[in-house]
Amino acid sequence: MKRKIFLPIVAGLLFFVIATVALPKTVDEVGVTVHEWGTFTSVAGENGEAIAWRTYGGPADLPCFVHRFGGFKSGLFGTVRMETPVLYFYASRESIANVKVRFSNGTITEWYPQAALSHLNDAIEWRDIRVSPAAAADFPVGGRGHYYAARETDAAPLQVGTQREKFLFYRGVGTFPLPVSAKPLEGSKILAKNRGTDAIGGLILFQNRQGKIEYQLAGTFESEIIFDPGLFRSDPAALLTDLENILVRQGLYRKEAQAMIETWRDSWFEEGTRLFYIVPKRVVDSILPLDIQPAPSETTRVFVGRMEIITPAIEQDVKHAIENNDRLALGKYGRFLEPIAQRIAVKSALLDSVYLKFVGEPATCKP
């Protein structure tokens, strides 16, 4: 009689052990680490604060497999373009996670893998994400743009449904206050102000004028700082090193920092004058509340603020290009042409023609 009772107990225990080993672990059981990076792009108005601009549209810079917002694209205005946030997962064993990001002051416009979006596209949720560190790097390909460089990390492959990727990707457009303002002063100087209560780190003023690249690294500031062109450094290689070190100090792994810079290298360093800074984590968390269940053992979020500054030199460049019918010179300012034109109060059929290349409906993806 005792033997008959004992055998089912042993069988039950054996089944439990096998199931425990075979089933994916939840993230809190395997000590998952999550890292995220992204960019908040804005344009400074005459008072130095971010203004509304047509932030969404233009030639597609994402592969066709990326999911897209289905609303009216070219008319979507905002003060901030939230560009390419990506979430990486690191784990020693397979696990399952759920992720939700809220964007109450914005609209999610692109994402991958497939996810559930709220009715107003102001929240995105991935459920039953399979984190598989031993899985093959079998990811979709096709097209070019600001996407593939983000895969060059040691993060674990992810799977949502049938879609696989090295990260969770999303983008959006929003209107919300930024912690920094920037405006030109006399003598080509730039005044940057901290509009929040947290210190701003990683402050860099960058300019590219007709291919001549210069920058000034200011580090961390509490209240305000004036950038003097006499202190600019002309060393693109040093700029890359400084940016990478800033991102690593904020908590990104070296390969993540390199992937972020490579993703945005052509855009960050294009013609113009702009301020780069690290958005304080408390600000990021208030704009984009992130919920990961089960909770990871560590979560790092690093967002770079990019603020375009319309200087008197840029205004003159655009006026001169219009007068000389120079489409190439106008094209260098791309999606920022409209805010520049509004600043100088110039209407031009040529300018409109060039600008439409950057704010028209994105190219249609062919099956």
Domains of the chain: total: 3
DSSP 8-state symbol, 366 = P
Q: Are residues 157 and 71 in the same domain?
A: yes
Q: pLDDT tens digits, residue range 195-248?
A: 999 999 999 999 999 999 999 999 999 999 999 999 999 999 999 999 999 999
User: Which residues are CB-contacts of 284 (< 8 A; sequence separation ≥ 6)?
Assistant: 301, 303
Cβ atoms of 147 and 41 within 8 Å: the answer is no
Is residue 44 one of the residues assigned to a domain?
yes
SS3 275: strand
* 226 and 260 fall within a common domain: yes
Strand residues in 175-287 grouped as ranges (E)? 180-184, 190-194, 200-209, 212-221, 224-227, 272-279
- CB–CB of 130/168 below 8 Å? no
Pair 33, 117 in one domain: yes
Whether 106 is covered by a domain: the verdict is yes
Same domain, 238 and 114: no
DSSP state of 114: -
Q: Which of residues 121, 155, 174 is at a domain's end? A: 174
Residue 352 and residue 363: Cα distance in Å, rounded? Answer: 19
The answer to whether residue 340 sits within a structural domain is: yes
Judgement on whether residues 102 and 148 belong to the same structural domain of the protein: yes
Task: Tell me the pLDDT tens digit for each residue of 291-326.
Answer: 999 999 999 999 999 999 999 999 999 999 999 999
Domain boundaries, position 257 = 181-277+308-313
Is residue 345 in a domain? Answer: yes
Kindly state whether residues 37 and 168 are assigned to the same domain: yes
Mean residue pLDDT of the chain comes to 89
Residues contacting 172, CB < 8 A, separation 6+: 82, 103, 106, 107, 108, 109, 110
86 and 164 in a single domain? The answer is yes
Confidence tier at 82 by pLDDT (50, 70, 90): very high
Structure confidence at residue 275 (pLDDT) = 98
- Residue 14 resides in a domain: no
**42 and 118 housed in the same domain:** yes
How far apart CA 263 and CA 343 sit, in angstroms, is 30
Q: Which of 171, 131, 172 is nearest to 155 (CA)?
A: 131
> Is 20 within the bounds of a domain?
no
Q: Is residue 141 part of a domain?
A: yes
- Same domain, residue pair 32 and 143: yes
Residue 260: its pLDDT value, please? 98
- Among 91-105, 131-145, 172-186, 348-362, the least confident range: 348-362
Residue 151, both tokens: 């895969």
Q: Is residue 261 part of a domain?
A: yes
| The last residue of a domain, from among 174, 203, 229 | 174
Predicted pLDDT of residue 12:
47
Q: Does residue 104 share a domain with residue 69? A: yes
Q: Among 151, 174, 197, where does a domain finish?
A: 174
- For residues 151 and 226, state if they share a domain: no
36 and 79, same structural domain? yes
